[in-house]
C-alpha cells in the first residue's frame, strides 16, 4: 500500500516535471507543477504512514497515553499541510504572473519571453 | 641679350617686374600649440640675411705667405660638374694624371671645398646652383673657369639659356681655354692658380664681397627666381 | 531580546501593514523602516554581545519542546553577523526604495519585510523543513519584489525564477522527507550527529540520495554555473535595491543554509562543494567579461563571489578556526560591495557600463565605486584581502594548489572586468543624463562605503597580522581624501613635507640597502613632486592616489614579514593604478597594468603561501629556510611576481602605454620610482633564497637570460618609437633588464651594479621624463618627428636631456660609466658567458635611441608653429636641474652613495668587493678614478674649446635653412627634418626581433577568454523552460560526478 | 700609478709624437691605397698642408651652440682616449693618464667623441648629417659586439682589466701575444676593427656623394681642422688599445710605430679590395662572421 502510494507520488512528480519541461504554454506549465507538487505531497504522506495505525489526532479514540503506539508519525502530516499551503501560494503567484505576462505580450508561450539572456 | 655693366656702374637696363615669391616662402600664419596665431616669414626666419663680409689678410706678411702657400698646395675642388667639361675632370683622378700629387683633392660639400671649377657652359638654371654653392664655400675660395664657354659663351654664344661670361657672376681667378681643355691643360691651369694664390692674389672671395651688389644685380638679371635672401650662407 | 523577535517583528509588521489604510503610505513606510531598524538593532545587539563574549550562542525552542517535535533557532556569532547583514541590507534597501514603495503602497512594504524576515529565518533556523518554509517564503516575496522594478522585463525574469523554484522545491521536499525518514529528525544538529555517528542509515542508500536532493536544492539557490540563467535575469532586470538584497542577503542566507546542510552530509561532500564553487567562480567571471550591462555584470560577479565562498566552504575541513574569518571576510566584502554597487547603479539612468562615466563628475561617488571595486577584488584594506591571504596560506599549507590556482585565476579575471569598468567610469565620455543625487540614495551608498571601510578595519584587527589601516603612511595617504578640497599647491606642499618627514623619521631604521631605496622613494618622490607645483586648480584624486603609492612603497621597504610586504605591494599597485589611469589616453594601459600587476601580486601571494607552509607571521628572512621541495616553486612564483613590476620581457606589455600616457609628473613617478619596487623585491628574494635549482636548472641563470633579453629587446623596441615618452618607457624595460641581470649575477659587484642602476635609473629616467613631459606640454605633441630644433628655445631642457643621455649611455665622465665599470668587473667573476653576448649587444643599442631622442627633439629643424615656444615651466625644470647637479656630483663622488652599500653587500658576498682608496676605486680586476677622469676630460675639453673660440670666434651665426642642400634650398622644415623612422636601415637588419610576439600572445589569451565568454553566453537563451532544463541537467551531472567523490 | 705633474709634459710629448706620426701615417696609408690604384697619390706631407690650410681659412659659420662644441667633443674624445691608454709599456711617463681608469674607461670613452660629433652634426639641421649618424650608430652596435666579446674573453684570460697588466702578461716573446694565445678573440676583435675604421667596406656612413660625407657635411674651416686633427689621433689611439690587448704592446717608440702601422695596414688592405656594404649588409656580415667567432672566444676561454 505504501509502495503503491509512493510509486503513484513519484509517477505524478515525473509526469509533472515532464509536463513542465515540455509544454511551452505557461498555464500548462503551472498545471504540470501543480501535479508534481501533488505527487510530492503524496510521497510525503506515504513516507510518514505506518501500516495499521491511525491518524495522529489525539481525541477520545486515541488517548494521549498510548498515542505513541497507535498513531502514525505526525511530522510528515504537518509537513504536508504546510507544503500544500505554500504550494497554493506559489501557484497563485505564478498564475498572477501568467496573467500579467499575457497582458504584456498577448501570448502564453514561454519561449516568447526571452528579452533577457546571455 | 645680356647687358654688360661694369663694377660700380649703374645698371642701365629696365628693372624686370619682380616675380611673385614662391608659395613656401610667403609669410604664413600658423597656430602655436597654445593656440596663438603667429606669422612666420620664411625668408627672414629661416635664412641668415647678412651680406657677405670682406676678410682681408689679418696676419704679418710672413704668416700670410705661409698660409697662402698652404692654400695653394691644398686645393680642394668642389665635386660639382656644371657642364660637359666635367668629363675632363675625372681623368685627373686616374693614374695617368693623378692630380693628388699636387695636393689637389675633391670634396663633396662646398663647406669644405675651396676651389670651384666651373666645368664648361653654365645654363642659367645651373648658374643659380653654382652661385649658391660658391657662396657656401669659405673664404678664401677660388673659381676656375674651364673652357671657352665660361669665357665668352663658346659655341653657345647666342643661346637663350646659357651665360656668356662667367666673371660677371662669380669672381674668376683663372680661365683655362679650350673646347674642351685636356686634363694636361687643367693641371697646367691649377699650377698657374697656385702661383696666383702664393702671390697673394687669390682674393676672389673678398672681391665678391666688396662688389656683392654688382654681382648680385648681374646674377638677378638672368636668374629671375633667386628665391632666397641675396647671400646664400 | 530574543532573536525570534527578528522573525516575529518582520512577520507581524507585514501582517499589521495589511490592516493599514492604503492611503496612509507615509505611516506604513515609517512603520516598515522602524520594524527593519528594530530587527537590525536586535541582530546588532546580539552580534555585539556574542563577539564581546558577554554571552554565548543560544538555542531558541519555539514550541517549548525540544526537537524533533518543535522547531529550534540558533543565534551564534555567524548567525548574528549574517542576520545583521540581512536586516541592514533590508533596511537600507527600504530607504533606497522610497519612491517605488510610496507609489505601490503598503503591500510592497509588507513583501519586503517578509523577504527580509525569511532570509533571516533561513540563517537562524536549525530545522530542515523550516528551512524549506523560509525558502518558499523567500521565493514568494522575491516573486513580488522583482515587480518593483521599472523594467518591464522583470516580469518574465520573475516567472523564470518561479519555474526553477518549483523544481527546486520539489527536490527539496523529497529530500527533506526521506532525510527525515532515514534520520528520524528534522533537526539539522540531530541529523548531523546521527550522520557523524555513522550508525544510522542517514547517509546510506536512500538516505544518501535524500541528502543529495536536499543539498542540490540548496546549492541551486546559490545560482551555480550553469544552472543560473534565471538568477542573472533577475539581477539584471529587478530594481537595483532589490538586486542588492538578492545578491547580499539572499546570497548570504543561501550560503549559510548550504553550510548547515553540509553538517549533515559531512566532509565527504566538501569536494563537491569545492568543485561546484570553483567552476561557478571561474565560469561566471569569464562570462562577465563580455557583459555590457552593469547590472547583469554585477549579477555574474555575484554568482562568482557566492561560488567563491562556496568553494571556501568546501575547504572547511582544513580552515579550522579561520573558517569564519575567511568565508566571512569574502562574503561580507562581497555583500557590502555588491549591495553598494547595485545601489550606485540605482542612481544612474543608463545601463551601459560606459555610462558610469557620469560618475566622474562626482568624486565622492567615484571614491565609493573605487572602494567597492577594491573590496570585490580583495585589495587592502578590505576584509577580502585578509581572507584571501589566510585562505591562500591554508590552501598552500595543505597542498591544494589547484584550488588556489583556480581561485587566483578567477579573481584575476574578475579584477580585469571590474577595473576595466572603473576605467570606463573615469575615462569615457559622460552621457547627458544626470546622476540621481537624492539624499537617501546617496546616503545608502555612503553607508555601504563606510561599512566596507569599517569591516576592513575590523578584519585587520581580527587578522592578527597587523592592521593595514593603522599604518601611518597609509593613513597619511588616506587623509588626502579628506583634504581633496584644498588647492593642489597646498596639498603638494603637504605631500612633500610628509614624504620628507617620514624619511627623517624612518632614517635611523634603514640599513644601507633600504636607505638607498628609502632615499629614492621618499626624497626622490619629493623632488619629483616639485614638478607638481606646476598644476593649477585642485587636481582632485591625484594626491590620494600618489600618496597611496608612496605609502605602499614606504611600507614595502620596511616590511619585515611576508604579510606586511604583500599588503604594501598591493597598496602601491592600487595607488599607482589610479595614478596611471589619470593620463589622457591611458585607459587601456592602466587596465593592462592593473591586470598584470594583480597577476604578479597573486603569484607573490601564492609564493609566500607556499613558502610559509602555514606559519604566520612569516618573516621575510624565513625565505632562506624554505625546504628544498618548495624552494624552486617559491622562487619562481615570487620572481614572476616581481618581474611583472620590473616589466621583464614577456610581462612588459603594460609598461610602454602606462608610462607614456601618464601625466607629465606621473611618468617619472611610475618609471623612476615605482619600477624599483620590483627590484627591491628581487633584492629580498635573492638575498634570502639565493641560488635555487629547479630540476637541475639554476634559476638565477634563467633570470640572467631574462634580464639580458629584456635589456636587448627593450632597447631595440625603444629605438623604433616615434613617441618620445614611449621611447623612454621602452628604455625602462631595457634598463630594468640590466638591473635584473646584475642581480642575477649573484655576486658582489653585480648587486652593486644593480643598486647603481637603481639610483641612476631613478635620476635620469625621472629627469628625461620630466624634460620630455615639459616639452610635450609646450609643443602639444609627444611625437618626436613633429618637434625639432628646440635647443635654443628650451636650453635647460636640452641640458637635462644631454646630461641624461650621457649618463645613461655610460660614456665617461658621467655617472653611467660607473655602472658600466662595475658591470664589467661583475661579469668577470661570473660563470655565465652566453647571456653576456646579448647584454653586450644591447649596450650600444641604447646609444641609438638616446641619440634619436636628443636629435629629433632638440636638433635638426625647428618647426613653424614652435618658433615662439618658451622654456618648459619653472617647476618642471627645477627638479631637472637638481637631477643634473646630482648626476654631476654623483659622477665625481660615487663613493658618497656606494661606499656604505659596498660594505653592506660585503656581508652577503665577502669576496670581490671594491677598495676605496683616496680618489681611486679598485676592484680585483681594475681601477677607476672618477675625479681624475673628470679633471682630465675637463682640462682637455676646455683647452680645445678655448682654441676653437680663438680661431672661430667671428663665425657668422646662420639660420636653419642655411645648409648645403645639394645646391638647392630646403623647402619646409618638416621636409628637412630627418626624424621619422630614424633607424630605417636598422629595422631592415634587426627589425624581425621586434615583432610583437608577446603582445600577440597575451592578446590571444584575452581573445580566447572573451571568445569563450561569448560562446558560453549563447547557452543562456533567455527561455525559462530551458533554464529549468539546465537545472535538471545540472542536478543529474552533479549527482553522477559526485558518485565518484563520495564514499 | 698616480698623478705627477711631470706627466703633463710627457702627455703633451705623446700627443705631439702621435699627431705627427698620425699625419704621416694617414698620408702613407693614402699613398699605399693610391699605389694599389696605380697612382702616386698625395705627397707624404700633404696632411700637414691640409691641416694648416683649414686652420687658416678666414671665414666660418656656426649653426649654434652644439654645432660649435661638436668638434671639441670629437677631439677631446680622441686626445682623451690616447691619454687614458698607456702608450709605451714599461714607461711610467708614457703611461700618461691611464691612472684614471682601466680598459673599460678606454672602451667607453671611444663613444665620447662620436656622441659630441653626432650632436654637433645634428644641430647643423642638415638631414644628411642625421642620416649619416643614423647609419653610423646602427653599424657600430653590431660592429662593436665582437670587440666587446673579445675584450671580455681576454679580460677573463688574463684575469684583469688593467691594460698595463694585460700587456705585462704578454711579454717575453711574440708567442705570448694574445694573437697566439687566444687567436679567436683576436680575429673577432680585428673584424670589429675593420668596422670601426671608416674604411671600405664599412664606410657607407660617409657616402661622399649620396649624403655628402655624412655627419660632418656642414663642418669646415677650424671645425674641420679640429676634426682632421682627431682623424689622425683617434685611429692611432684605438690601434694602441688593440696593440696593447692583442699584440704585446710596445716597449719603445720604434716598436710602437711599427706595430701601429701594421695594425692600421689590416684595415687598409681590406679596404682597397672590397666594395662598400649597405648598413644592413654590414650588420648582417658582423652577425654572421664576426659575432660567432667572438662567442666562440668567450666560450673557450
Residues of B in contact with C967 (CB under 8 A): 80, 110, 129-130, 132-133
Residue C10 included in any domain: no
* pLDDT lower than 70: segments of chain C: 64, 67-69, 198-206, 1044-1047
Domain shared by C387 and C511, yes or no: no
Domain shared by C397 and C529, yes or no: no
Domain shared by C889 and C808, yes or no: yes
- Residue C697 gets which letter from DSSP? E
Nearest CA in chain D to C820: D104
Which pLDDT tens digit goes with each residue over D16-52?
Answer: 999 999 999 999 999 999 999 899 999 999 999 999 9
Tell which wins on pLDDT, D121 or B12.
D121
Q: What is the CA radius of gyration of chain A?
A: 19
- Contact criterion met (CB < 8 Å) for B132 and C968: yes
Domain shared by C880 and C899, yes or no: yes
Among the candidates C910, C940, C970, a domain finishes at C940
* C-beta of residue B147 within 8 angstroms of C-beta of residue B177: yes
Residues of C in contact with B228 (CB under 8 A): 969
Q: What chains are in contact with C, requiring at least 3 Cβ pairs below 8 Å?
A: A, B, D
- Contact criterion met (CB < 8 Å) for D100 and C859: no
> Residue C972: phi, psi to the nearest 5?
-140, 160
Residue B1 is predicted with a pLDDT of: 37
Domain shared by C858 and C733, yes or no: yes
Residue C65 included in any domain: no
Q: Which domain holds residue C790?
A: 471-940
Among the candidates C940, C955, C970, a domain finishes at C940
Domain shared by C746 and C818, yes or no: yes
* pLDDT lower than 50: segments of chain B: 1-3
Q: How far is B151 from chain C (nearest CA, A)?
A: 23
Closest CA to C1028 of A111, B51, D58: A111
- Non-local CB neighbours of C267 within 8 Å, separated by 6+ positions: C316, C317
Residues of C in contact with A86 (CB under 8 A): 133, 136-137, 140, 169
Report the C-alpha gap between D44 and D20 in whole angstroms.
11
Q: Which residues of A41-76 are buried (b: 16+ CB within 10 A; e: fewer)?
A: bbbbbbbbbeeeeeebeeeeebeeeeeeebbbbebb
Whether B and C touch, i.e. at least 3 CB pairs below 8 A, reads as: yes
Residue C410 is predicted with a pLDDT of: 94
Q: Which domains does chain B carry?
A: 1-233 (3.40.50.12280)
Domain shared by C606 and C673, yes or no: yes
Q: Count H helices and E strands in chain B, helices first.
A: 8, 7
Report the C-alpha gap between C815 and C885 in whole angstroms.
12
Report the C-alpha gap between D103 and D98 in whole angstroms.
9
Cα distance between the two ends of chain C: 44
> Residue C588: phi, psi to the nearest 5?
-65, -30
β pairing state of B28-31 and B37-40: antiparallel
Q: Which domains does chain A carry?
A: 2-112 (1.10.287.3510)
| Backbone torsion region of residue B153, taken as left when φ is above 0, otherwise alpha when ψ lies between -120 and 50, otherwise beta | left
Residue D254 is predicted with a pLDDT of: 93
Domain shared by C375 and C512, yes or no: no
Nearest CA in chain D to C924: D160
β pairing state of C72-75 and C58-61: antiparallel
The pTM score is: 0.92
Domain shared by C475 and C351, yes or no: no
Residue C141 included in any domain: yes
Which pLDDT tens digit goes with each residue over C98-127?
Answer: 988 888 888 889 999 999 999 999 999 998
Domain shared by C483 and C420, yes or no: no
- Residue B47 gets which letter from DSSP? S
DSSP string, C337-399: HHHHHHHHHHT-S--BGGGGGGGGG-HHHHHHHHHHHHHHHT-TTSHHHHHHHHHHHHHHHHT
Residue B3 is predicted with a pLDDT of: 47
- Residue C221 gets which letter from DSSP? T
Residue B47 forms contact with D (CB below 8 Å): no
Report the C-alpha gap between D245 and D239 in whole angstroms.
10
Nearest CA in chain C to B108: C966
Q: How far is C305 from chain A (nearest CA, A)?
A: 19
- Contact criterion met (CB < 8 Å) for C968 and B130: no
Residues of D in contact with B58 (CB under 8 A): 58
Q: Which residues of C1030-1044 are buried (b: 16+ CB within 10 A; e: fewer)?
A: bbbebbeebeeebee
- Contact criterion met (CB < 8 Å) for A116 and C237: yes
The SS3 call for residue C441 is helix
Instruction: Report the complex ipTM.
Output: 0.89
- What are the grid coordinates assigned to C549, written together? 603609492
Of D61, D66, D298, the CB nearest to C958: D61
Mean pLDDT calculated for residue range D270-283: 89
Whole-angstrom CA distances from C744 to B145, C712, D268, D301 are: 70, 16, 43, 22
Domain shared by C411 and C520, yes or no: no
- Residue C127 gets which letter from DSSP? B
Q: Which residue in this structure is represented by grid cell 555517528?
A: C197
Closest CA to C307 of C414, C400, C420: C414
| Backbone torsion region of residue C614, taken as left when φ is above 0, otherwise alpha when ψ lies between -120 and 50, otherwise beta | left
Strand partners, A54: A71
Residue C118 included in any domain: no
Residue D1 is predicted with a pLDDT of: 59
β pairing state of B104-107 and B115-119: unpaired
CB neighbour class for C152 (10 Å; exposed up to 12, middle 13-18, buried from 19):
exposed
Measured torsion, CA atoms of residues C528, C530, C535, C541, in degrees rounded to the nearest 10? 60
Whether residue D72 has pLDDT greater than 90: yes
Residue A21 forms contact with C (CB below 8 Å): yes
Report the C-alpha gap between C352 and C433 in whole angstroms.
12
Our CA angle for D129, D135, D141, nearest 5°, is 135
Which pLDDT tens digit goes with each residue over C988-1031?
Answer: 888 888 888 899 999 999 999 999 999 988 888 888 888 988 99
Domain shared by C478 and C376, yes or no: no
Measured torsion, CA atoms of residues C578, C580, C581, C584, in degrees rounded to the nearest 10? 150
Nearest CA in chain C to D150: C837
Residue C479 is predicted with a pLDDT of: 92
* C-beta of residue C779 within 8 angstroms of C-beta of residue B30: no
Among the candidates C905, C940, C975, a domain finishes at C940
Residue C1 included in any domain: no
* C-beta of residue C534 within 8 angstroms of C-beta of residue C871: no
Residue B140: asked if its preceding bond is cis (omega within 30°), the reply is yes
Residue C638 is predicted with a pLDDT of: 94
- What are the grid coordinates assigned to C597, written together? 600587476
Domains held by chain C: number: 2
Q: Which residue in this structure is represented by grid cell 537595483?
A: C240
Amino acid at each position: 500500500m505504501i509502495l503503491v502510494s509512493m510509486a503513484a507520488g513519484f509517477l505524478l512528480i515525473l509526469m509533472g516535471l515532464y509536463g513542465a519541461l515540455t509544454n511551452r504554454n505557461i498555464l500548462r506549465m503551472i498545471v504540470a507543477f501543480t501535479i508534481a507538487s501533488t505527487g510530492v505531497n503524496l510521497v510525503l504522506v506515504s513516507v510518514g504512514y505506518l501500516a495499521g495505525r491511525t491518524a495522529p489526532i489525539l481525541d477520545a479514540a486515541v488517548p494521549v497515553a498510548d498515542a505513541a503506539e497507535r498513531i502514525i508519525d505526525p511530522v510528515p502530516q504537518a509537513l504536508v499541510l504546510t507544503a500544500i499551503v505554500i504550494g497554493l501560494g506559489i501557484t497563485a503567484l505564478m498564475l498572477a504572473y501568467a496573467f500579467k505576462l499575457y497582458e504584456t505580450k498577448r501570448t502564453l508561450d514561454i519561449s516568447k519571453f526571452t528579452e533577457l539572456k546571455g | 641679350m645680356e647687358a654688360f655693366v661694369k663694377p660700380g656702374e649703374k645698371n642701365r637696363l629696365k628693372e624686370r617686374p619682380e616675380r611673385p615669391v614662391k608659395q613656401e616662402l610667403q609669410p604664413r600664419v600658423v597656430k602655436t600649440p597654445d593656440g596663438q596665431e603667429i606669422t612666420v616669414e620664411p625668408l627672414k626666419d629661416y635664412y641668415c640675411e647678412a651680406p657677405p663680409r670682406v676678410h682681408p689678410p689679418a696676419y704679418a706678411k710672413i704668416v700670410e705667405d705661409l698660409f697662402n702657400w698652404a692654400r695653394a698646395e691644398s686645393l680642394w675642388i668642389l665635386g660639382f660638374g656644371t657642364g660637359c667639361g666635367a668629363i675632363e675632370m675625372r681623368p685627373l683622378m686616374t693614374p695617368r694624371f693623378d692630380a693628388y700629387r699636387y695636393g689637389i683633392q675633391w670634396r663633396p660639400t662646398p663647406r669644405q671645398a675651396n676651389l670651384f671649377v666651373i666645368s664648361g657652359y653654365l645654363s642659367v638654371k645651373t648658374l643659380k646652383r653654382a652661385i649658391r654653392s660658391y657662396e657656401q664655400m669659405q673664404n678664401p675660395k677660388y673659381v676656375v673657369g674651364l673652357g671657352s664657354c665660361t669665357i665668352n659663351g663658346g659655341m653657345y654664344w647666342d643661346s637663350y639659356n646659357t651665360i656668356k661670361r662667367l666673371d660677371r657672376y662669380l669672381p674668376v681667378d683663372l680661365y683655362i681655354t679650350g673646347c674642351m681643355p685636356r686634363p694636361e691643360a687643367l693641371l697646367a691651369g691649377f699650377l698657374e692658380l697656385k702661383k696666383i694664390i702664393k702671390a697673394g692674389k687669390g682674393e676672389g672671395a673678398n672681391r665678391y664681397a666688396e662688389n656683392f651688389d654688382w654681382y648680385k644685380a648681374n646674377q638677378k638679371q638672368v636668374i629671375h627666381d633667386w628665391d632666397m635672401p641675396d647671400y646664400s650662407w | 531580546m530574543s532573536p525570534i523577535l527578528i522573525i516575529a517583528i518582520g512577520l507581524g509588521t507585514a501582517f499589521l501593514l495589511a490592516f493599514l489604510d492604503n492611503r496612509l503610505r507615509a505611516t506604513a513606510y515609517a512603520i516598515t523602516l522602524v520594524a527593519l531598524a528594530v530587527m537590525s538593532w536586535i541582530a546588532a545587539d546580539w552580534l555585539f554581545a556574542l563577539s564581546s563574549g558577554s554571552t554565548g550562542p543560544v538555542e531558541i525552542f519555539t514550541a517549548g519542546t525540544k526537537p524533533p517535535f518543535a522547531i529550534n533557532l540558533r543565534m551564534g556569532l555567524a548567525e548574528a553577523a549574517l542576520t545583521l547583514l540581512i536586516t541592514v541590507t533590508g533596511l537600507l534597501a527600504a530607504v533606497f526604495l522610497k519612491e517605488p514603495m510610496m507609489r505601490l503602497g503598503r503591500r510592497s512594504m509588507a513583501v519586503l519585510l517578509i523577504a527580509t524576515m525569511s532570509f533571516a529565518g533561513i540563517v537562524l533556523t536549525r530545522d530542515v523543513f523550516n528551512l524549506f518554509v523560509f525558502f518558499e517564503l523567500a521565493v514568494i516575496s522575491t516573486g513580488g519584489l522583482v515587480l518593483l522594478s521599472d523594467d518591464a522585463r522583470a516580469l518574465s525574469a520573475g516567472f523564470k525564477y518561479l519555474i526553477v523554484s518549483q523544481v527546486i522545491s520539489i527536490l527539496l521536499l523529497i529530500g527533506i522527507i526521506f532525510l527525515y525518514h532515514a534520520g528520524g529528525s528534522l533537526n539539522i544538529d540531530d541529523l548531523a550527529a546521527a550522520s557523524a555517528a555513522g550508525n544510522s542509515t542517514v547517509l546510506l542508500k536512500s538516505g544518501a540520495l535524500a541528502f543529495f536532493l536536499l543539498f542540490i536544492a540548496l546549492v541551486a539557490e546559490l545560482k551555480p554555473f550553469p544552472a543560473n540563467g534565471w538568477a542573472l535575469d533577475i539581477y539584471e532586470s529587478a530594481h537595483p535595491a532589490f538586486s542588492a538584497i538578492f545578491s547580499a542577503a539572499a546570497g548570504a542566507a543561501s550560503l549559510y543554509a548550504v553550510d548547515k546542510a553540509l553538517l549533515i552530509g559531512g566532509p565527504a561532500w566538501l569536494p563537491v562543494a569545492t568543485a561546484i564553487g570553483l567552476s561557478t567562480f571561474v565560469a561566471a567571471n569569464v562570462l562577465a567579461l563580455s557583459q555590457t550591462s552593469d547590472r547583469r555584470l554585477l549579477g555574474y560577479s555575484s554568482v562568482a563571489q557566492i561560488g567563491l565562498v562556496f568553494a571556501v566552504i568546501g575547504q572547511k575541513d582544513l580552515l579550522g578556526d579561520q573558517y569564519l574569518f575567511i568565508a566571512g571576510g569574502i562574503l561580507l566584502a562581497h555583500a557590502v560591495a555588491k549591495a553598494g554597487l547595485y545601489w550606485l547603479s540605482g542612481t544612474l539612468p543608463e545601463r551601459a557600463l560606459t555610462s558610469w562615466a557620469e560618475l566622474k563628475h562626482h568624486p565622492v561617488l567615484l571614491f565609493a565605486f573605487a572602494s567597492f571595486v577594491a573590496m570585490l577584488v580583495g585589495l587592502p584594506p578590505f576584509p577580502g584581502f585578509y581572507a584571501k591571504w589566510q585562505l591562500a596560506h591554508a590552501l598552500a599549507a595543505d597542498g591544494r594548489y589547484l584550488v588556489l590556482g583556480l581561485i587566483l585565476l578567477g579573481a584575476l579575471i574578475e579584477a580585469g572586468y571590474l577595473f576595466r569598468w572603473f576605467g570606463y567610469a573615469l575615462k569615457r565620455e559622460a552621457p547627458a543624463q544626470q546622476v540621481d543625487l537624492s539624499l537617501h540614495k546617496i546616503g545608502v551608498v555612503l553607508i555601504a562605503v563606510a561599512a566596507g571601510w569599517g569591516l576592513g578595519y575590523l578584519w585587520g584587527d581580527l587578522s592578527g597580522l597587523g592592521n593595514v589601516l593603522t599604518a601611518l603612511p597609509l593613513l597619511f595617504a588616506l587623509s588626502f581624501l579628506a583634504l581633496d578640497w584644498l588647492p593642489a599647491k597646498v596639498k603638494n606642499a603637504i605631500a612633500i613635507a610628509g614624504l620628507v618627514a617620514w624619511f627623517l623619521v624612518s632614517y635611523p631604521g634603514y640599513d644601507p640597502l633600504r636607505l638607498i631605496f628609502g632615499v629614492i622613494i621618499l626624497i626622490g618622490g619629493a623632488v619629483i613632486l616639485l614638478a607638481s607645483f606646476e598644476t593649477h586648480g585642485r587636481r582632485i584624486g591625484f594626491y590620494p592616489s600618489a600618496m597611496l603609492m608612496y605609502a605602499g612603497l614606504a611600507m614595502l621597504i620596511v616590511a619585515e614579514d611576508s604579510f606586511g610586504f604583500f599588503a604594501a605591494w598591493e597598496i602601491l599597485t592600487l595607488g599607482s593604478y589610479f595614478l596611471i589611469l589619470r593620463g589622457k589616453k591611458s585607459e587601456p594601459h592602466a587596465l593592462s597594468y592593473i591586470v598584470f600587476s594583480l597577476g604578479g601580486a597573486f603569484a607573490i601571494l601564492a609564493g609566500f603561501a607556499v613558502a610559509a607552509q602555514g606559519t604566520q607571521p612569516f618573516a621575510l628572512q624565513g625565505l632562506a629556510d624554505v625546504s628544498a621541495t618548495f624552494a624552486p616553486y617559491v622562487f619562481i612564483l615570487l620572481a614572476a611576481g616581481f618581474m611583472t613590476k620590473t616589466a621583464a620581457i614577456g610581462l612588459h606589455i603594460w609598461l610602454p602605454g602606462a608610462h607614456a600616457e601618464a601625466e607629465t609628473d606621473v611618468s617619472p613617478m611610475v618609471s623612476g620610482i615605482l619600477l624599483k619596487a620590483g627590484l627591491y623585491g628581487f633584492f629580498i628574494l635573492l638575498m634570502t633564497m639565493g641560488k635555487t635549482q629547479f630540476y637541475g636548472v639554476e634559476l638565477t641563470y634563467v633570470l640572467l637570460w631574462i634580464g639580458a633579453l629584456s635589456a636587448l629587446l627593450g632597447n631595440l623596441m625603444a629605438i623604433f618609437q616615434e613617441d618620445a615618452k614611449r621611447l623612454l618607457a621602452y628604455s625602462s624595460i631595457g634598463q630594468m633588464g640590466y638591473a635584473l641581470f646584475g642581480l642575477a649575477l649573484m655576486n658582489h659587484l653585480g648587486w652593486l651594479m644593480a643598486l647603481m642602476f637603481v639610483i641612476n635609473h631613478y635620476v635620469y629616467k625621472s629627469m628625461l621624463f620630466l624634460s620630455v613631459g615639459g616639452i610635450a606640454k609646450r609643443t602639444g605633441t609627444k611625437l618626436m618627428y613633429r618637434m625639432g630644433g628646440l635647443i635654443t628655445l628650451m636650453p635647460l631642457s636640452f641640458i637635462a636631456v644631454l646630461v641624461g643621455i650621457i649618463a645613461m649611455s655610460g660614456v665617461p665622465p658621467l655617472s653611467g660609466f660607473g655602472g658600466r665599470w662595475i658591470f664589467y668587473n661583475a661579469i668577470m667573476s661570473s660563470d655565465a658567458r652566453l647571456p653576456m653576448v646579448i647584454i653586450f649587444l644591447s649596450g650600444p643599442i641604447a646609444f641609438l635611441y638616446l641619440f634619436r631622442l636628443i636629435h629629433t627633439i632638440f636638433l635638426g629643424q625647428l618647426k613653424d608653429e614652435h618658433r615662439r615656444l618658451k622654456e618648459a615651466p619653472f617647476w618642471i625644470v627645477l627638479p631637472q636641474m637638481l637631477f643634473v647637479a646630482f648626476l654631476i656630483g654623483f659622477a665625481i663622488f660615487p663613493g658618497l652613495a656606494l661606499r656604505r652599500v659596498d660594505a653592506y653587500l660585503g656581508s652577503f658576498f665577502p669576496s670581490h668587493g671594491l677598495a676605496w682608496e683616496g680618489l681611486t676605486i679598485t676592484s680585483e680586476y681594475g681601477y677607476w678614478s672618477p675625479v681624475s677622469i673628470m679633471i682630465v676630460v675637463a682640462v682637455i675639453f676646455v683647452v680645445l674649446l678655448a682654441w676653437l673660440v680663438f680661431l672661430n670666434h667671428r663665425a657668422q651665426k646662420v639660420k636653419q635653412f642655411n645648409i648645403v642642400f645639394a645646391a638647392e634650398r630646403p623647402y619646409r622644415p618638416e621636409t628637412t627634418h630627418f626624424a621619422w623612422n630614424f633607424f630605417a636601415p636598422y629595422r631592415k637588419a634587426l627589425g624581425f626581433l621586434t615583432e610583437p610576439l608577446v603582445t600577440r600572445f597575451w592578446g590571444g589569451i584575452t581573445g580566447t577568454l572573451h571568445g569563450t565568454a561569448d560562446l558560453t553566453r549563447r547557452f543562456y537563451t533567455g527561455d525559462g523552460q530551458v533554464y529549468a532544463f539546465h537545472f535538471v541537467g545540472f542536478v543529474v551531472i552533479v549527482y553522477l560526478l559526485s558518485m565518484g567523490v563520495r564514499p | 700609478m698616480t698623478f705627477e705633474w711631470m706627466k703633463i709634459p710627457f702627455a703633451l710629448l705623446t700627443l705631439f709624437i702621435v699627431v705627427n706620426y698620425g699625419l704621416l701615417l694617414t698620408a702613407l696609408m693614402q699613398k699605399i691605397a693610391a699605389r694599389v690604384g696605380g697612382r702616386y697619390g698625395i705627397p707624404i706631407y700633404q696632411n700637414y698642408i691640409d691641416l694648416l690650410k683649414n686652420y687658416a681659412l678666414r671665414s666660418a659659420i656656426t649653426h649654434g651652440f652644439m654645432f660649435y662644441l661638436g668638434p671639441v667633443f670629437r677631439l677631446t674624445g680622441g686626445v682623451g682616449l690616447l691619454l687614458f691608454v698607456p702608450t709605451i709599456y714599461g714607461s711610467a711617463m708614457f703611461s700618461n693618464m691611464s691612472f684614471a681608469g682601466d680598459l673599460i674607461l678606454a672602451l667607453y670613452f671611444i663613444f665620447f667623441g662620436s656622441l659630441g660629433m653626432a650632436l654637433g652634426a645634428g644641430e647643423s639641421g642638415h638631414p644628411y648629417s642625421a642620416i649619416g649618424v643614423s647609419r653610423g650608430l646602427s653599424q657600430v652596435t653590431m660592429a662593436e659586439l665582437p670587440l666587446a666579446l673579445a675584450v671580455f674573453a681576454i679580460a677573463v684570460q688574463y684575469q684583469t682589466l688593467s691594460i698595463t697588466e694585460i700587456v705585462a702578461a704578454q711579454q717575453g716573446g711574440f708567442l705570448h701575444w694574445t694573437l697566439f694565445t687566444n687567436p679567436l678573440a683576436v680575429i673577432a676583435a680585428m673584424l670589429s676593427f675593420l668596422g670601426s675604421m671608416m674604411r671600405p667596406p664599412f664606410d657607407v656612413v660617409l657616402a661622399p656623394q649620396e649624403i655628402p660625407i655624412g655627419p660632418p657635411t656642414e663642418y669646415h674651416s677650424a671645425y674641420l681642422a679640429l676634426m682632421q686633427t682627431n682623424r689622425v689621433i683617434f685611429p692611432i689611439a684605438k690601434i694602441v688599445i688593440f696593440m696593447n690587448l692583442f699584440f704585446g704592446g710596445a716597449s719603445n717608440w720604434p716598436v710602437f710605430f711599427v706595430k701601429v702601422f701594421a695594425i692600421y695596414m689590416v684595415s687598409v688592405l681590406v679596404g682597397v679590395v672590397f666594395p662598400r656594404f649597405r648598413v644592413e649588409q654590414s650588420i648582417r656580415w658582423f652577425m654572421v662572421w664576426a659575432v660567432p667567432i667572438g662567442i666562440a672566444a668567450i666560450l673557450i676561454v
